[in-house]
Amino acid sequence: MIVDGALTESITHPTFEILNVALNVCANLLISMNVKSYKKLIAKQLNQDFKSAVEIVEIPFTQPTANELLIQNKFAGVNGGFDTLLCRGDVPYVNLIPPFDLGVEAVGKVVAMGENVKNFQIGDAVITTARGGGYREYQLIDANLAVKAQEATPELLTLMPTGISALVALEQVGEMKSNEVVLVTAAAGGTGHIAVQLAKLAGNHVIGTCSSEAKADLLRELGCDRIINYRTENLNQVLKQEYPNGINLIFECVGKAVFDTCVDNLAVRGRLVVVGFISEYAKELEQITQPRIYHQLFWKAASVRGFLMPHYKEYMAEGRDRLLNLFYTDKLKVAVDPKQFQGIESIPNAVEYLLSGQNCGKVVVRF
Ligand SMILES: NC(=O)c1ccc[n+]([C@@H]2O[C@H](COP(=O)([O-])OP(=O)(O)OC[C@H]3O[C@@H](n4cnc5c(N)ncnc54)[C@H](OP(=O)(O)O)[C@@H]3O)[C@@H](O)[C@H]2O)c1
């Protein structure tokens, strides 16, 4: 814990002198600010409703162990769907029992580190993607799990892990090619707007769905070839009329009737990647009784494939490096939703906002 002086305790070996100075500066800063504890958001119980499941708790600082960084989170990415499902106990591959920490990706600054950490300095900007590491003011993390960034900006949250998910889903699961027709649903969202650009960069004709003119403007800027505002146009009609040969690759985020329409409009040997089903997250899952979809798939030799990033971990590092490179060389535009959410207290509203479908780009909370 950072009680007065605890972090300033000296390490005597001369090679640690610089580190000591840095640690002391950081610890003194925290102490002079009288910061002895910080806030985080936890799930205190499983509940259908995110707001009823969560609680803000104040916890004391703990010192970084030898290989750890203490990071002050500046921004955290909001994953309203995952957060809600987690708090309902509906994420089978983790199956967490409350209380558990929430949030995943964060961008912040290194404020202290253990004596074995060599590759970081106090003040370095870093991105982290550890489950439980996002919705908190500070986090301790193994230095190997933090990625250095040029600056601590919220834009980075569109890339890790959101953008990586888009890349891996398209390439590894969707077997993305060139000169095909690719459809992205929820195209102006955090994940979708990166998927649109990656599909364009690969040389495809890209269709994107969205629900407002502001979102359509963003998609136009990103080079989307056919924008379908599903509030003013009928998705099924447009696809049937304008794409009679069907869609080769579908990056499907929405679920329910949108999923059914997508399956119905797959091309011969088309691939639909189930990236999510956000239309079901805010409510109980819909129970359906309808013909089995193998009738629709078989005659076209089409396929529906599930995607879940944690099952494709081996592609993360390469995907991250490629996306950061595209971003830093201005080949990839990123959109952060302009609505401001400030502090741990604002996270439940940010989750609700995302699930209401209003956002354009990645939803971010600032600390
Ligand atoms: N499988 C994975 O590993 C993985 C990883 C990351 C994200 N995802 C999935 O990717 C999808 C997008 O996630 P995100 O966090 O980036 O969110 P997001 O796309 O930034 O926001 C959600 C968007 O979904 C659209 N939407 C369409 N119908 C909706 C409905 N009935 N209710 C609410 N929203 C609706 C809304 O835009 P429009 O109405 O304009 O379409 C809304 O802005 C989610 O399904 C998420 O679970 C999956």
- 308 ligand 1 Cβ < 6 A: yes
Structural domain includes residue 344: yes
User: 194 with 248, same domain?
Assistant: yes
Give pLDDT, residue 169: 98
Cis link prior to 92 (omega < 30° from 0)? no
- The CB density around residue 180, as the number of other CB atoms within 10 Å, is 20
User: 113 with 192, same domain?
Assistant: no
pTM: 0.91
Domain that holds residue 208: 160-311
Tell me, rounded to whole angstroms, the distance of Cα 16 from its chain centroid. Answer: 37
Give pLDDT, residue 283: 77
Give pLDDT, residue 95: 81
Structural domain includes residue 251: yes
Q: What is the pLDDT along the chain (367 residues), one digit of tens a residue?
A: 222 223 333 333 444 444 444 554 455 455 445 678 999 999 999 999 999 999 999 999 999 999 999 999 999 999 999 999 999 999 988 889 999 999 999 999 999 999 999 999 999 999 999 999 999 999 999 999 999 999 999 999 999 999 999 999 999 999 999 999 999 999 999 999 999 999 999 999 999 999 999 999 999 999 999 999 999 999 999 999 999 999 999 999 999 999 999 999 999 999 999 999 999 988 777 888 888 999 999 999 999 999 999 999 999 999 999 999 999 999 999 999 999 999 999 999 999 999 999 999 999 999 9
DSSP for 57-90?
EEEE-----TTEEEEEEEEEE--HHHHHHHHHT-
| Cα(111)–Cα(109) distance, integer angstroms | 6
| Cα(239)–Cα(183) distance, integer angstroms | 10
Distance from residue 171's CA to the centre of ligand 1 (Å):
19
Structural domain includes residue 324: no
CATH number of the domain bearing residue 143: 3.90.180.10
Please tell me the total number of residues recorded for the chain in this structure.
367
User: 168 with 294, same domain?
Assistant: yes
In the chain, pLDDT over 90 holds for what percent of residues? 86
Give pLDDT, residue 308: 96
User: 12 with 64, same domain?
Assistant: yes
- 192 ligand 1 Cβ < 6 A: yes
Structural domain includes residue 326: no
CATH number of the domain bearing residue 195: 3.40.50.720
User: 137 with 14, same domain?
Assistant: yes
Burial label, 79 (beta-carbon count in 10 A; 0-12, 13-18, 19+): buried
User: 72 with 27, same domain?
Assistant: yes
User: 179 with 113, same domain?
Assistant: no
- 279 ligand 1 Cβ < 6 A: yes
User: 240 with 261, same domain?
Assistant: yes
Atom from ligand 1 closest to the CA of residue 80: 15
User: 26 with 166, same domain?
Assistant: no
Structural domain includes residue 187: yes
| Cα(230)–Cα(334) distance, integer angstroms | 23
What is the number of structural domains in the chain?
2
- 309 ligand 1 Cβ < 6 A: yes
Give the mutation target among 278, 283, 339 for probing the ligand 1 site: most ligand atoms within 8 A of CB: 278
What are the tokens at 344?
């741990």
Atom from ligand 1 closest to the CA of residue 191: 16
Structural domain includes residue 77: yes
- 138 ligand 1 Cβ < 6 A: no
Distance from residue 77's CA to the centre of ligand 1 (Å):
13
User: 128 with 164, same domain?
Assistant: no
User: 119 with 210, same domain?
Assistant: no
Burial label, 157 (beta-carbon count in 10 A; 0-12, 13-18, 19+): buried
| 226-229/205-210 β-pairing | parallel
Q: Are 171 and 97 in contact (CB under 8 A)?
A: no
User: 146 with 26, same domain?
Assistant: yes
**How does pLDDT run across 163-197, given as a tens digit for each residue?**
999 999 999 999 999 999 999 999 999 999 999 99
Structural domain includes residue 346: yes
Give the mutation target among 88, 160, 217, 253 for probing the ligand 1 site: most ligand atoms within 8 A of CB: 253
Structural domain includes residue 331: no
- 176 ligand 1 Cβ < 6 A: no
